[in-house]
Copies of this chain bind each other. A is one copy, B any other.
Amino acid sequence: MELGIWDFTTAMNRSDIRLALPSKGRLELATLDFLASAGLRVDKPNPRQYFARLPALPGLTVMFQRPGDIVVSVREGSVDFGIAGLDAVEERRGDDGEILLLHEALNYGQCALALAAPEEWPVHTLSHLQSQISTRSVQHPLRVATQYPRLTSRFLDSHGIAHVLINAEGTLEVAPAIGYADMIADLVSSGQTLRDNRLRALDDGVVLRSQAVFFANRAALKSRPEVLDLARQLLEYIEAYLRGQENYMVVANMRGDSAEAIAQAMFAQPDLGGLQGPTLAPVITRAGERWHSVTIVVHKDRLIPAVRALRAVGGSGVVVSPITYIFEEEPERARRLKANL
């Protein structure tokens, strides 16, 4: 065999564009749901398959890895884009800026990396913990089991708490009971697992609040225009989708002398708005009354107040419809993207 023929480095000199997604459990399902809802459905042939396609963006190769491995892949450049928890990104992003966060709040996968101790400990705060450690004659340093050594160590150092980290494979929650460690730093969502294991998070022990984020290899964005263009398309979909999910299209029939009069009555109501102002169209009734249909966009949290405000100015028959996307004039994060490169 000719030596020149074989080169295991070819995988690095690739021309495809790659997006890595979480390969397991709740985060995988939530990510696939999120993307599908945003119009970016992933075709994953079967659960054992680690490669997939995204029909809406045929130029993209989708692959599945563990979250921590996604971050390393993007950092090293073997993958261009990744979606993972902020916890994984912050733990492994390194110090050299290889990773650029494109969207820092995809609004799912919320959890916190938190310090927890056995319930029977009389310690609830970091300052209490720190004073305990410093004033007594220590038999052994505080041992903290975690799968997030970098974030945990930095956090404890910043609070002046001497410690040693215990690396652990899993089921961290049982570590204090076994005596494997004194405390743990682990991801917490509902807190039920902590309670099941008689642990309690410190009151000010949140190391990091996390949710799913979207990020890219900075060098790929800079050097490959097709990667930058895909980043913008993905951001357009994601931003428009997230904004669309927060709003309803609201149409009401309103009695009133003129479109102008109706609009003015509406402007007087603090709970009515719309992206710019109401759209108005005439309604023709059998009885010959004067009505107008008004259309506004309302934030979901303000729906009931908005309905009541419409009623207050003569609205009835309020029809509320779902919105898939709202595209604004210029997506903010796409703007920032150019600046950050």
A207 at interface, CB cutoff 8 A: no
Tell me which residues from 132 to 186 in chain A have a Cβ below 8 Å from any Cβ of chain B. Answer: 132, 135-136, 139-140, 142, 166-171, 174-180, 182
* Contact residues on A (Cβ < 8 Å of other chain), bracket: 35 or more
A204 at interface, CB cutoff 8 A: no
Quick one: given A135-B3, A319-B297, A320-B323, are A176 and B11 in contact (CB under 8 Å)?
Answer: yes
Interface SS of chain A: helix, strand, loop or mixed? mixed
Quick one: given A66-B169, A180-B76, are A275 and B321 in contact (CB under 8 Å)?
Answer: no
Q: Judge whether A329 and B307 touch: CB under 8 Å.
A: no
Contact with B along A14-57 (1 / 0, CB 8 A): 10001010011000000000000001000001101111000010
Q: Judge whether B69 and A170 touch: CB under 8 Å.
A: yes
| Min CB gap A140→B, angstroms | 6
Tell me which residues from 245 to 288 in chain A have a Cβ below 8 Å from any Cβ of chain B. Answer: 248-249, 251, 253, 259-260, 263, 267, 275-286
Q: Judge whether B169 and A63 touch: CB under 8 Å.
A: no
Contact with A179, one of B78, B166, B182, B240 (Cβ below 8 angstroms): B78
CA A307 – CA B331 in complex, angstroms? 12
Q: Judge whether A327 and B321 touch: CB under 8 Å.
A: no
Closest to A322 in B: B324
| Min CB gap A189→B, angstroms | 7
Q: Judge whether A66 and B171 touch: CB under 8 Å.
A: yes
| Min CB gap A249→B, angstroms | 6
CA A329 – CA B253 in complex, angstroms? 11
Q: Which residues of B contact A281 (CB under 8 A)?
A: 279-281, 295
CA A9 – CA B46 in complex, angstroms? 33
Q: Which residues of B contact A56 (CB under 8 A)?
A: 300-301
Q: Judge whether A327 and B322 touch: CB under 8 Å.
A: no
Q: Judge whether A132 and B6 touch: CB under 8 Å.
A: yes
CA A122 – CA B5 in complex, angstroms? 10
CA A84 – CA B41 in complex, angstroms? 25
Contact with A278, one of B51, B277, B283 (Cβ below 8 angstroms): B283
Contact with A275, one of B72, B182, B253, B275 (Cβ below 8 angstroms): B253
Q: Judge whether B277 and A280 touch: CB under 8 Å.
A: no
| Min CB gap A41→B, angstroms | 11
Tell me which residues from 290 to 320 in chain A have a Cβ below 8 Å from any Cβ of chain B. Answer: 291, 293, 295, 297, 300-301, 303-304, 307, 311, 316-320
Q: Judge whether B320 and A180 touch: CB under 8 Å.
A: no
Q: Judge whether A177 and B50 touch: CB under 8 Å.
A: yes
Q: For the complex of A and B, list the 9 residue pairs with the smallest distance between their C-beta atoms, beginning with the closest.
A: A45-B190, A11-B179, A66-B169, A78-B179, A275-B317, A263-B284, A277-B285, A279-B293, A320-B325
